[in-house]
Chain A
Amino acid sequence: MTLLQAQGLTRRYKLPRRTVFGTPPVLTAVENISFEIAAGQTLGIVGESGSGKSTLARMAMAFEAPDAGRILFEGQDIHALGAAQLRRLRPDFQMVFQDPFSSLDPRRKVGWSIAEPLRAMGVSAPDRVAEAFEQVGLHPADGDKYPHEFSGGQRQRIAIARAIITRPKLLIADEAVSALDVSVQAQILNLLMDLQETLGLGILFISHDLAVVASVCDNLLVMQRGQAVEYGAATDILNTPSHAYTRSLLTAAGETH
């Protein structure tokens, strides 16, 4: 069953005008991108920085609207929903962010942060907070600590706990391991894969690093300057890349790992 479907997504940004009376230049961040994620599957989106990956994530999370195209979550166009309807749907798709140091409020205890999605739903369930801690390999007693008391990898675990506490169907991970050490990267990737298995999560995994994505994804979308250069099964693309850009990404990944 299709969980998330993007149809012809396009997003343009107006840049500051260069002359007083000229029309402002337009940057096309994402142009005519389509993809699908089935329930329990992982789609990797790869591309260098500036290729439009994060814009895609922001549109998939309904933080900003596309200029053209639609995003369907379980058949519903999330940008066509009213604010209240969208809020009811939000627990079903959650996000893990790139920077584990900015994704937790420094002034709040992490237990409070993890429970935030539950509070948004109007639910108070301390047992689910404790369960979420254990699912990501932390101790429920850690909830009384502040973010600065944890390492980067632990913080990313906390951010994952917050994202899965609503038992979502889709998890969007935008460069979720890029800011971590290589050894910690592997731990977090394993955690995500374990959670995918136990919770049946669909994952949209965004990374600039093809080596990271290659090991965990069923399907792959390679982006360059806002456009899709390749889209298909991960094994096909990795074994027989048809585009020179994909080959250069593969070479780069081979050099660093």
Chain B
Amino acid sequence: MKQLPANFIIGAVLVAFVVGVAALSLIWTPHDPTDLNIRAKFGAPSHVNWLGTDQLGRDLVSQLMAAARNSMTVALVAVLLGGSIGVALGLLASAIGGWVEDIVMRLADLGFAFPALLFAIMLAAVFGPSLTNAVLAIAFINIPIFARVARASGNQIWTREYVLAARAAGMNKFTITLDHILPNIAAAVIVQATIEFAVAILAEAALSYLGLGAQPPASSWGRMLSEAQTLMYLAPELAIYPGLCIVTAVLGFGLLGDGLRDMTDPRLARAR
């Protein structure tokens, strides 16, 4: 058994913690995260409210847990949606080549050049701010990223002799893509997805902070941050806790993705 890279282990622990808390919030939180109790506002940590309460007397732990779940859901849906479309486009470009490949990749360049935040603001301006639009905006920025990864690794696989053998056998490009290309680029796509998951969590927090993501009363780390901003001197912990949560989640998925990449990179595997 090869030794696992340190970044993989640390990332896995952080991710397990964040995902575990998010999953737990589905069935249990210490209090209802939306329960107001104005008389108990700015409560200090106690055995009832472990991290205290916010400016409206809501339990902080419960809010952070519910926000973790929202954040994971947004990131998961956005990365799955953007990733599927991107990988499909990349595989198409790789399989057909020629002018189809050129068009897909130039469109991907265009997608890269378009600022994600601007796209989210545009969506919000047209359809109103909502979590769905935040998801769509994050999914959109993921499409060109995955298209590039899928095409680049796909092009490598297309030159392998086992793909030539499949062509010699008379398999069509669609079947070859499903049988050989997709399974052999899966590792690269999964690594990219883990890293993009971290980016998506950060993007969701940023959009919610700007009021373009989750709308009240839904909990969100980003919105908790923006609400705490005006109370920075009165109750700095209200900003510190969601900030720490964002750092933990982003760092966790980032490290996990780096670790996975180190494990699947044959050059590094040989060096170990």
Interface residue ranges, A against B (CB under 8 Å): 61, 63, 86-88, 90-91, 93-95, 97-99, 102-108, 113, 116-117, 119-121, 159, 162-163, 166
- Say how far B173's CB is from chain A's closest CB, in angstroms: 10
- Say how far B42's CB is from chain A's closest CB, in angstroms: 57
- Name the CB-closest residue of B to A103: B161
Which of chain B's residues 127-179 have a Cβ closer than 8 Å to chain A?
160-162, 164-172, 175, 179
Note all chain B residues with C-beta closer than 8 A to A119: 169, 171
Q: How many Å lie between the Cα of A89 and that of B170 in the bound state?
A: 9
Note all chain B residues with C-beta closer than 8 A to A86: 170
A95 B166 Cβ-Cβ under 8 A: no
Out of B169, B170, B175, B184, name the residue touching A105 (CB < 8 Å).
B184
A105 B180 Cβ-Cβ under 8 A: yes
Q: How many Å lie between the Cα of A97 and that of B160 in the bound state?
A: 10
Out of B170, B179, B180, name the residue touching A117 (CB < 8 Å).
B170
Q: How many Å lie between the Cα of A138 and that of B160 in the bound state?
A: 24
Out of B162, B170, B171, name the residue touching A104 (CB < 8 Å).
B162
- Name the CB-closest residue of B to A87: B170
B165 A103 Cβ-Cβ under 8 A: yes
Q: How many Å lie between the Cα of A162 and that of B161 in the bound state?
A: 13
Contacts A105-B180, A107-B184 given; does A117 touch B169 at CB 8 Å: yes
Out of A87, A103, A117, A163, name the residue touching B162 (CB < 8 Å).
A103
B184 A97 Cβ-Cβ under 8 A: no
A102 B169 Cβ-Cβ under 8 A: no
Note all chain A residues with C-beta closer than 8 A to B170: 86-88, 90-91, 117, 120-121
Contacts A105-B184, A107-B183, A107-B184 given; does A61 touch B162 at CB 8 Å: no
- Say how far A28's CB is from chain B's closest CB, in angstroms: 22
Residue from B164, B167, B168, B170 having most chain A Cβ neighbours under 10 A: B168
Size class of the B contact interface (CB-based, 8 Å): 10 to 19
- Could you write out 10 A-B pairs with CB less than 8 Å apart? A88-B170, A90-B168, A90-B170, A94-B168, A94-B169, A97-B165, A105-B184, A108-B183, A117-B169, A117-B170
Out of B161, B169, B171, B183, name the residue touching A97 (CB < 8 Å).
B161
Note all chain A residues with C-beta closer than 8 A to B166: 116, 120
Q: How many Å lie between the Cα of A45 and that of B162 in the bound state?
A: 23
Q: How many Å lie between the Cα of A160 and that of B185 in the bound state?
A: 26
B161 A99 Cβ-Cβ under 8 A: yes
A102 B168 Cβ-Cβ under 8 A: no
Q: How many Å lie between the Cα of A117 and that of B165 in the bound state?
A: 9
A95 B164 Cβ-Cβ under 8 A: yes
- Say how far A57's CB is from chain B's closest CB, in angstroms: 10
B169 A98 Cβ-Cβ under 8 A: no
- Name the CB-closest residue of A to B186: A107
Note all chain B residues with C-beta closer than 8 A to A107: 183-184
Residue from A94, A105, A113 having most chain B Cβ neighbours under 10 A: A105
**Digit string of B176-195 for contact with A (CB within 8 Å is 1, else 0)?**
00011001100000000000
Contacts A105-B180, A105-B184 given; does A120 touch B160 at CB 8 Å: no
**Digit string of B3-47 for contact with A (CB within 8 Å is 1, else 0)?**
000000000000000000000000000000000000000000000
